[in-house]
Structure 1
């Protein structure tokens, strides 16, 4: 029997495809005539007709969003973690969407530039080795690589393998204090819970192999200590962007990915992907996701 939920999901999927393919130029129609049509026109204002279409698509998805996401993260918490350069307005909107879905943001963790800078690998490696010995022996593999290890340590501090989450303990506080004390992360105040889900938001794309390897290590490590991780980026991050490149890494088998969070539709899809991650790992969703614009069912 087809329920209202299935209708809503289908409609949202359609508008997500519209938002990605028509509004933002992603999807299977984006390359048609693009080279000729856009050459030399980067600074021209968007045509009124296209602007109206954009506004209409966003307004419809905005109206459908609350009914679609409501209750999907009820009694669940999400650790919101950002990479340097993440769009502040988008991050705020994602937090609001988690709340609209009935969930809570356990805390926001802003990773620092040095943590993802390949030239600072020695610092990250030394700190990770010390924390492994002092706080995480038996919890993190002794032979883990530098960024797998620091990702797993961060996972121990902010995340939980229990779907209901767990209280912050002394080990978690010690790891957060050490990582933030080294200038690798901004430490939030008054955190009470470690969350089952981690939403890792992409920032500035350095476009080099070293940064891609760091991202893969962090995501893999976080996934090892949580119920589920969603790596989220803008539409530009998909396809040939950093999110698109991440999807070719073996770490993507354990981490869900979604591009399009710069749209209302993409933020709705983020909630559905977080919900799916409570039971199923991996999956590539969004404007250029191989598994579709959003999880259905």
Structure 2
């Protein structure tokens, strides 16, 4: 059940985000989508008062959010990487929010079940070793662990540290072809640019140490190649969920984490966190983030 603390955190996020927009300057209004369902399964029905409170909070954020995010990602592109089980409505709402902030989504890269399955580690390790030798020698650390290495390889193909982004080159296409050809990632359509920002959207929480280690390695690897990485999950992913456990891993220092993207406030916070990540790595934000509901610096 949605708690009063959740409502309070959401409301705080709204006004902190609005305050940031006033201080830094907001642009013209645009539409922000409504609340979407979470990927964590069905919840118990909320009492009428809680439901009305939730609807009101979402309406306030939807009304104030556009002015807060407008122009925040102007002339910036974002590569969206999804973990298996990521909620389609959430991913769509996040990509729309990037557009509302003036940014573009360079491409969406959907990781496959095999890539995050601890039982397929041998396949991931073999492919990573081959690609390191064939395409990424000198670009990827030779002593990187299995999932850090594949994360760096994917990062090399989809991202860049150049704030303006870079054109996709032959090396990037070869890596994407190899990873998708091995069944570890769905091949996207035509992609023209590698992005400075990566938004990694969480999916199904397997709830085991093996999967947690895989996520930590992937996040760390992506961060080694991108200007900024934001790992985002729904509200249930925070606290004791997978995002909460990632925050306890040293690898999380290289990325920003955000829970609550199943709410309008969380999607506004996503844009602010992406913007911050261009200059400042790290930070834990969202409904259970230790650094507050939204970044203001």
Q: Mapping of 1:271-286 within 5 angstroms? A: 271-286=271-286
Contiguous gaps of at least 5 residues in structure 2: 1-14, 23-34, 36-41
Counterpart-to-counterpart distance in 1, 2:280 and 2:17: 23
Q: Mapping of 1:97-116 within 5 angstroms? A: 97-116=97-116
Q: Does 1:81 align with 2:91?
A: no
Counterpart-to-counterpart distance in 2, 1:87 and 1:124: 25
2:206 counterpart SS class: coil
Report the alpha carbon displacement of residue 9 of structure 1 after superposing the two structures with TM. Answer: 2.8
2:150 counterpart SS class: helix
Q: Mapping of 1:115-134 within 5 angstroms? A: 115-134=115-134
- Determine if contact 2:21/2:68 at 8 Å carries over to the other structure: no
Report the alpha carbon displacement of residue 50 of structure 1 after superposing the two structures with TM. Answer: 1.3
Deviations, residues 116-135 of structure 1 (Å, cap 9, x unaligned): 00000000000000000000
CA spacing shift, 1:7–1:253, aligned 2, 3 Å? closer
Report the alpha carbon displacement of residue 47 of structure 1 after superposing the two structures with TM. Answer: 1.8
Report the alpha carbon displacement of residue 7 of structure 1 after superposing the two structures with TM. Answer: 7.8
- Determine if contact 2:76/2:163 at 8 Å carries over to the other structure: yes
Paired position in structure 1 for 2:292: 292
Deviations, residues 157-216 of structure 1 (Å, cap 9, x unaligned): 000010000000000000000000000000111100000000000000000000000000
Deviations, residues 86-141 of structure 1 (Å, cap 9, x unaligned): 00000000000000000000000000000000000000000000000000000001
Paired position in structure 1 for 2:5: none
Report the aligned-residue RMSD.
1.8
Report the alpha carbon displacement of residue 11 of structure 1 after superposing the two structures with TM. Answer: 9.6
CA spacing shift, 1:186–1:7, aligned 2, 3 Å? closer
How many equivalent pairs are there? 265
Paired position in structure 1 for 2:257: 257
Q: Mapping of 1:34-73 within 5 angstroms? A: 45-73=45-73
Match of 2:18 among 8, 12, 22: 8
1:79 counterpart SS class: strand
When the two structures are superposed, what TM-score results if normalisation uses the length of structure 1?
0.86
CA spacing shift, 1:65–1:132, aligned 2, 3 Å? same
Paired position in structure 2 for 1:189: 189
Report the alpha carbon displacement of residue 46 of structure 1 after superposing the two structures with TM. Answer: 2.0
Paired position in structure 1 for 2:207: 207
Contiguous gaps of at least 5 residues in structure 1: 13-22, 24-41
Counterpart-to-counterpart distance in 1, 2:234 and 2:17: 26
Paired position in structure 2 for 1:32: none
Report the alpha carbon displacement of residue 51 of structure 1 after superposing the two structures with TM. Answer: 1.1
1:74 counterpart SS class: coil
